Structure 1
Amino acid sequence: MLSCMFQLSNCKLGLEQSRSLAVLLIDNPRHLRELDVSMNDLGDRGVKLLMDILKSTQIYKLDKCTIHSPSTTRLYCCQLTEKCCENMFGCLVNIPSLRELNLSNNNLKDEGVKMLCNAFGLPACQLEKLIVASCGITLVRGFHFNSILKELDISRNHLGDSDDWADVLFCLSSLETLRLSDCKLTEKCCGVLVEALRSNLTNLKELDLSGNDLGDRGVKTLYMGLTSRCCTLERLFLRCCGITVKGCSSLAVALKSSCSSITELGLMGNDTGEEGLRILSDIRDNQRYKLQTLEIND
């Protein structure tokens, strides 16, 4: 079957060009699988035009074949605000083939993302990958992501430590990739992550906590989750997290555990010193253990 990808990233598109693109989508919707209009000054009005077309063509073709609608939509850096999320909600509900949505670097704020979350409880929403990095989010309270979501990236939002993290992570039973870099987290969040790794995040393969002030105490807490029999984590990134040789020692114990499945560890930007390098390099070079890739300061 033929498929079509519209890749129009950084093409200086504005509202007028959105109208022209909308006409093109009306005339040629049959094989559209991917739409990339990132890094254009579309604004809320431009995106509304495009989303209305995508919804209408999907409804028109529901009796024929739902795979004719795009499975990937990228709209990062498009000068969007929370106002566009009502239209995105309609797409999530009316385009069941939509699997990936990237809205990064748009000022959606808390209310915008919460509006998107309202779609996740509906059977028609089959989204598997959501990227909302740098979207001006400050709270996780009220965020209810769907249980089929496999990848979530909410990096570079000032979320901070919150008791609400437990409710958010509890919903993500199918999650395979979680990126929380530069989210103003501290060691306090690590206990919640440990409980999640032990219970419902049993499918998680990649966890990125880089750029958060976890420190050695946070890493020591994470150790308990990494050594759980339920934890299947393979890639762990803790770049620029204030980790010293003490944290390396905690990680070394976890990596030597028979329960550890970690093959890749990223620790660049930490004050691990020569001793930390030696401890972890020895584990990487020992075929008894699973660690294969180590990113660490020389």
Structure 2
Amino acid sequence: MCTQIFKEETGIILGTMYCFLHLSIQEFIAALYQHLTLDRDKKQAVKSRDESMIDLLKTAVDKALESENGHLDLYLRFLLGLSLQSNRQLLRGLLTQQDDRDQSKKEIIAYIKQKLEGNLSPERSINLFYCLNELNDQTLLKEIQSHLSRGSLSSARLSPAQWSALVFVLLTSEEELEEFELQKFQRSDECLIRPSAVIKTSKRALLQFCKLTVRSCKSLSSALQSSNCVLRELDLSNNDLQDSGVKKLSEGLKSQHCKLDTLRLMTCKLTADSCESLSSVLQSSNCVLRELDLSNNDLQDSGVKKLSDGLKSQHCKLDTLRLVMCNLTVQCCESLSSALQSSNCVLRELDLSNDDLQDSGMKKLSDGLKSQHCKLDTLRLVMCNLTVQCCESLSSALQSSNCVLRELDLSINDLQDSGVKLLSDGLKSQHCKLETLRHRTFKFLPPSSHTLRQ
């Protein structure tokens, strides 16, 4: 059996050494050795005060918290477990000296709870809760479980220790956490940073309307760069992130460990500078982003031009882009048309609704739709100040053998009957692949949708 659980190594100076393949055995032996050493010293009256046990445990807690990689975590748990009087009974014959274990237990529990009130990393605080478990103390966990059962976490003001307890409960739950919704808790940067370890284990994080700033972006960026992060969908809409926040977030999006494929940043006070950061992300070979929503931000044409550079990258995987109400004009259509004509562009869905594109903008965009490289199958142009003339351009695109458009929304534009007639000419073409056409005329009328089958 021994040959299966440890390996033998021969060193030049130290002689023969034994290393257990399962490192937890070594951690246990190290903790036991510390207790045996303390027991021997007491027997020899080297240390006669009972405080020596507390000193040992406090020092061990401090050293474990200082470790960046957690190499002392398991050792600390064993050390604390062996300090209990109930466990000492199992080691009689090895440990002979008796102490006031109950007093030592109370002191070390209080010391650990004091540490939990500090600014600890999620990994270190989680280990301290495992330590409290070793000491049979469940008080903090019971407080959080009580809040969870009452559904009162959104109004409760949690202490740092209670936040750590919440993270521990969520991470050690038997149920797999598919979705993390911050609105169920308190809405602030602090309340996002505390459970960042939970967000990393969730596939979807809904963080909209949560009063978040650049601080949260820094924490999220760090989470995205973690090798154990599984986050695939992130919604940060309606937060005060600004360009500086997106710049921080972009660092995480470019990480080789990042798996995020959907990012929503609606109404986040962004400008063209954010587009520069995101364009750099799209050009990264590590980026796996497939859906990006930047609606209701002041991006302007200059911002879309920068984004278009990213769309033309050989590494870009983005297939859905939403730019609703982003203060765009005719010039943005020229940039997007150029992107659609690129052989690298894989964009399939584009929403430019509530932007002042006008007929001249649609003429430029139609050139992209007729390209042999264009893969766009869904185009939304609701309320874009379009008239009859745009229908002529779109009709020409629908008649092109290269156009793969299947859904087109032209609602709330002044197309008139003559415009719809021009569109109908395109619909009759043998090359037209359009299946859904929407052309609701006025805001107060119900949506009008026609499904077209070739």
TM-score, normalising length from structure 1? 0.84
Greater shift in the superposed pair: 27-36 or 227-236: 27-36
How many angstroms does 1:295 deviate by?
A: 0.8
Q: Aligned residue for 2:306?
A: 164
Give the distance between the partners of 1:280 and 1:40, measured in 2 at CA: 51
Q: 1:36 aligns with which of 152, 159, 181?
A: 181
> For residue 141 of structure 1, what is the amino acid of its counterpart?
E
How many angstroms does 1:23 deviate by?
A: 4.3
- Stretches of structure 2 that go unaligned for 5 or more consecutive residues are 1-151, 442-454
> For residue 149 of structure 1, what is the amino acid of its counterpart?
L
Aligned in 2, Cα 1:165/1:54: closer, same or farther, shift over 3 Å?
closer
Q: Aligned residue for 1:149?
A: 289
Number of residues of Structure 1 aligned to a counterpart in Structure 2: 276
Q: Does 1:124 align with 2:265?
A: no
Task: Say if 1:33 and 1:70, in contact at 8 Å, map to a contact too.
Answer: yes
3-state SS in 2 of match to 1:101: strand
Identity of aligned residues (%): 36
Q: Aligned residue for 1:46?
A: 191
How many angstroms does 1:283 deviate by?
A: 3.9
3-state SS in 1 of match to 2:239: coil
3-state SS in 1 of match to 2:194: helix
Give the distance between the partners of 1:284 and 1:93, measured in 2 at CA: 48
Give the distance between the partners of 1:284 and 1:34, measured in 2 at CA: 43
Give the distance between the partners of 1:23 and 1:128, measured in 2 at CA: 27
How many angstroms does 1:277 deviate by?
A: 2.0
- Stretches of structure 1 that go unaligned for 5 or more consecutive residues are 1-10, 56-68
After superposition, residues 17-36 of structure 1 pair within 5 angstroms as 19=163, 21-28=166-173, 31-36=176-181
Task: Say if 1:82 and 1:109, in contact at 8 Å, map to a contact too.
Answer: yes
Aligned in 2, Cα 1:116/1:270: closer, same or farther, shift over 3 Å?
same
TM-score, normalising length from structure 2? 0.56
How many angstroms does 1:54 deviate by?
A: 4.1
Task: Say if 1:155 and 1:181, in contact at 8 Å, map to a contact too.
Answer: yes
How many angstroms does 1:202 deviate by?
A: 3.2
Aligned in 2, Cα 1:200/1:114: closer, same or farther, shift over 3 Å?
farther
Q: 2:225 aligns with which of 90, 93, 115?
A: 93
Q: Aligned residue for 2:326?
A: 183
> For residue 229 of structure 2, what is the amino acid of its counterpart?
P
Q: 2:157 aligns with which of 5, 16, 19?
A: 16
Give the distance between the partners of 2:182 and 2:430, measured in 1 at CA: 46
Aligned in 2, Cα 1:100/1:46: closer, same or farther, shift over 3 Å?
same
3-state SS in 2 of match to 1:164: helix
Give the distance between the partners of 1:256 and 1:246, measured in 2 at CA: 16
Give the distance between the partners of 2:344 and 2:184, measured in 1 at CA: 33
Give the distance between the partners of 1:113 and 1:288, measured in 2 at CA: 42
> For residue 72 of structure 1, what is the amino acid of its counterpart?
R
Task: Say if 1:243 and 1:270, in contact at 8 Å, map to a contact too.
Answer: yes
Q: 1:70 aligns with which of 187, 199, 202?
A: 202
How many angstroms does 1:40 deviate by?
A: 6.4
> For residue 111 of structure 1, what is the amino acid of its counterpart?
S
After superposition, residues 1-298 of structure 1 pair within 5 angstroms as 13-14=154-155, 16=157, 19=163, 21-28=166-173, 31-38=176-183, 41-55=186-200, 69-94=201-226, 95-139=228-272, 140-143=275-278, 144-146=280-282, 147-162=287-302, 163-171=305-313, 173-199=316-342, 202-284=345-427, 289-298=432-441
* RMSD of Structure 2 on Structure 1 (CA): 2.5
Aligned in 2, Cα 1:38/1:212: closer, same or farther, shift over 3 Å?
farther
Give the distance between the partners of 1:279 and 1:254, measured in 2 at CA: 12
Q: Aligned residue for 1:3?
A: none
